[in-house]
Structures are given as structure tokens and as C-alpha cells.
Amino acid sequence: MIRLVPFMLGAHEALVGPVVACLERTFGERVEVRDPGFDPAAALDERRGQYDSRRFLRLLLDDAHDAPRVLGMTGVDLFIPVLTFVFGEAQLGGRAAVVSTFRLRSEPYGIVSPPERLLERAMKEALHELGHTHGLVHCDLADCVMRSSTYVEDIDAKPARFCVDCARGVAPPGAASA
């Protein structure tokens, strides 16, 4: 079971349903949506005007102590201290991940793209970060969602699915290998 915790999503609230369906389809697990039991403002770095994704991971872990895996989904701008921003973050081989839709929009980049592109990007980022919680590292293959993305165009270039090797890494224990 995966717990999805949407918070501060604003106009992107509508993405939650399709992302849940995508996760259930891909991981073959039930996805439960819960409101956050924490104050997201605790992760705000006032100097940077951004939210520390590492603090969100800790808040999510405390909040969802009874869930085997938890994904936070937010609309605020995330960072880790060494970087200007991140699309999302996860505990490698851990329980918690967080993704943000803030930098997934096309407009700030001057890109013209169809409206469904935002949802596709959100799905890919959710799959990618949850892949990290399964212990997967970045994949070299262009046709794998675990390929590293530092630009939205990188996200657009990869599919919303795992390659054969990475799919084995996220398969439930005991699942027959393809």
C-alpha cells in the first residue's frame, strides 16, 4: 500500500486522481489518499522562499509512520541545500518521497505544450521518486522513467514506465519475473 499525501497543491489538486490511478496501475498496489497531519510551513526556508524537501521527507515519515510507503505531492517550490531546486526527492531504499508540480509547468520556460503535459510530468516524477524508495538509482536507458531529469524537457523525453531491469526492482516480492 502506498499513501499519497497531497498538500499545498492549489490549482493542481485535479492531478491527484490520475496520479493515483497511474501508481496503482504501475506498482499493482492500492494507493490511499490522506490529508497531511503536519504543518507544511515547517519546511519553509524564508531566506530562499522555497521549501526544504528533506524536511518534508521527515514530516511525511513521522506523519505516515504506519504506512509502508508515503509520497507527498505538493505545488510549492522544493530545494535541497546544495541545489537551486529539485523536482522531487526520495529516501533511496526508504519509505518516503515527495514531488512538486511547481517546476513542472511549461509557462515559466517559455514552452508551448498541451495541457495534459503537466499531468504526464507529475506521473513520471511520482513514479521516479517512488522508484528511488525501492532502491533504484538513475537508469542510463532513455526509455526508462528512472533516467535522471534536470530539465522538464528531460522529463518529457522519457516514458512513464520502468525499463525491464528497473521494473524488476519495483515488482512486489514474489512476483514472477517478466
Residues of the shown chain interacting with other proteins in the complex, contacts defined by CB under 8 A: 48, 54, 79-86, 89-90, 92, 103, 107-112, 132, 137-142, 144, 148, 150-151, 153-154, 157-158, 163-166, 178
Closest contact distance (angstroms) between CB of 121 and other proteins is 14
At 146, list the grid cell.
528512472
Closest contact distance (angstroms) between CB of 132 and other proteins is 6
Closest contact distance (angstroms) between CB of 102 and other proteins is 11
**What secondary structure letter does DSSP report for 8?**
S
**Nearest CA-CA partner of 158 in 67, 170, 166:** 166
Residue 129 is among the residues annotated as catalytic for this protein: yes
Among the listed residues 89, 120, 125, 129, the single catalytic one is: 129
Which of residues 172 and 177 has its CB atom nearest to other proteins in the complex? 177
Cα of first residue to Cα of last residue in the chain, in angstroms, is 22
Amino acid at 147: R
3-class secondary-structure state, position 145: coil
